[in-house]
Structure formats: structure tokens, C-alpha cells
Amino acid sequence: MTKKIKKPVIAGNWKMHKGPAATREFALALAPLIPKGSGATIILFPPAISLTTALSTLEETGIAEQVEVGAQNIHWEDEGAFTGEISAEMAREVGASYALIGHSERRHLFGETNDETSLKVRAALQNELRPMICVGETKEEREEGRLEEVITTQLVAAIEGLEKGEIEQIAIAYEPVWAIGTGLTATPDDAAEAHQILRNKLAQAIGTTGAEGVPILYGGSVRPENAADLCAANEVDGLLIGGASLQPESFAAIIEAATKG
């Protein structure tokens, strides 16, 4: 399957960084760095406590139409006795348009299972949030030659039972666990290999044309220096950025690098 020319998706996952005051400061600093018609779909995933501040400040600065906002995590129930959780319905009510689901830190630090990831995907879709499903292998799994097994198992669990039109609404982020926050980065060829596996699995589920429309992002130690090469790799439709998305200058530099050419 050949790579389609499409608008890259550049997303910043802030993890547990930036309360409301720091979020407002970031958005104010980012606004003049993002030219109109940047050529990218831009998404920020702030902490839940900062969602409304992100949305209101982006609106205030005039870049809300260019920068979307998503929740880092959601519960699959609309409401209930789930202390500390937020629902997809709540995230959508404040203005989020995406939900990050199945991030490796949720899986490995908090024990999130494939079944729970599946429930969250359905909750997101039912509440008009676009799920960004994270998949990725550990260093040990990669060394054991289990890349395809691990990432396809995670993907299939997340989309099993969905209708074709629902699958076409998802986004995927391939994040090799060994490259997240370690300074190690998959090569463009590594990323292309994993993304091709995911694209092929999608094509089996919804056909080639449908699969080509699902953005597959790479995440893991992305920096301004490697963004262009990663985005140029076959089947890589964008980037999910961690640490480098915390500074408006480096985030804007990645957007610029990813949209050149």
C-alpha cells in the first residue's frame, strides 16, 4: 500500500504537566508561532484540569480553529462512583474533540487492559470524541520478534466489533515503549515497518481505501531534529509528541519541520 499525500497530524501529549496557569501561558506563547494555514492538524492533550483553560485561551488567541484539544484519558461509563475519573461525555461537554486511549503509561503503570481500551474506544465514539488509540511493544517484545503480534493484538482488541464507519473515525499512534522518554527513537524504517503492519491490519478490517484514511502517528522521543525524517517515512501520517510538546518553541518547530515539502 502506498503512502497517500495527506495533511499531517501533530499532537502534543503533556502527560502530568501544566496546570491552568501554565496552560494559558503556553497557549499565549504558541499563538504567534502558528501561521494560518499551517498545513497540519494540530492537537493538544493537556491534563483534565487544564482542558477548559486550553480551549478558552486558544479561542482568545484566535487559533482555536487550527488547534484542537483532547482528553488524555476517559472512563467508559458516562457517570458513576469512579473517583478521580472523567467520562467521555464530560470531556466532550467542555469542548474536547479527541480522546487519547491506551497510552503505554496507562497500560504499564496503571494496568489498563485491552478490554478496557476497547470499552473506552466505544465510549469515545458514542460521545462524538475521536479516539486516538496507542499501540506499541516493549524492548523485550521487540527483541523476541513479537512486534507484529503485540501491536496487531492491541489494535484488533480496540476495534473489534466496530462498524466500518466507526473504524474510519479513529486515529492510531504507534509508540514503541522502549522509545518513550528514553532518548531512543525508532528509525524512519522502524516506524515504516510498524505502520505498514497496522495499515495492513486496518485494510483487512475495512478495505484499502478506508484504511488509507485512518491517520497513523509515530510517537517516541520526537524532536525538531528528527520530525521531518519521521514524517517522510512510508505510512507515517504524523507525530505524537511528549516532552518536546511542553515548550511552544519546540512544538512549533516540529510542526514546521513536519509540514515542509
If you average pLDDT over residues 127-154, what whole number do you get? 97
Summarised one tens digit per residue, pLDDT across range 190-211 is 999 999 999 999 999 999 999 9
Residue 116 carries which side chain, given as an amino acid letter? E
6 band by pLDDT with thresholds 50, 70 and 90: confident
pLDDT higher than 70, residue 189: yes
- Report the relative pairing of strands 98-101 and 238-241 from DSSP bridges: unpaired
Give how far the C-alpha of residue 227 lies from the chain's centroid of Cα atoms, to the nearest Å: 15
pLDDT higher than 70, residue 174: yes
Asked about 77 being catalytic, the answer comes back as: no
Strand partners, 219: 240
The residues spanned by each domain of the chain are 9-21+39-259
**Per-residue confidence (pLDDT) for residue 36, from 0 to 100:** 82
Compute the radius of gyration of the chain from its Cα atoms: 17
pLDDT higher than 50, residue 4: no
1 band by pLDDT with thresholds 50, 70 and 90: very low
Crossing angle of helices 248-259 and 224-232, rounded to 10°? 30
* Nearest alpha-carbon partner for 129 in 90, 164, 158: 90
> pLDDT averaged over the chain?
95
pLDDT higher than 80, residue 220: yes
If you average pLDDT over residues 216-236, what whole number do you get? 95
**Per-residue confidence (pLDDT) for residue 5, from 0 to 100:** 55
User: Which class is 9-21+39-259 in CATH?
Assistant: alpha beta
pLDDT higher than 70, residue 2: no
Summarised one tens digit per residue, pLDDT across range 57-108 is 999 999 999 999 999 999 999 999 999 999 999 999 999 999 999 999 999 9
Q: Is the pTM of this model over 0.75?
A: yes
Summarised one tens digit per residue, pLDDT across range 33-47 is 998 888 899 999 999
Asked about 160 being catalytic, the answer comes back as: no
Percentage of the chain beyond pLDDT 70 is 98
DSSP secondary structure, the chain, as one string: -PPPP---EEEEE--S---HHHHHHHHHHHGGGS-TT-SSEEEEE--GGGHHHHHHHHHHHT-TTTEEEEES--BSSSSSS-TT--BHHHHHHHT--EEEES-HHHHHHH---HHHHHHHHHHHHHTTPEEEEEE---HHHHHTT-HHHHHHHHHHHHHTT--HHHHTT-EEEE--GGGSSSS----HHHHHHHHHHHHHHHHHHH-HHHHHTS-EEEESS--HHHHHHHHHSTT--EEEESGGGSSHHHHHHHHHHHH--
Q: Which distant-in-sequence residues (6+ apart) come within 8 Å of 5 by Cβ?
A: none
Q: Which of 105, 116, 137, 175 is catalytic?
A: 175
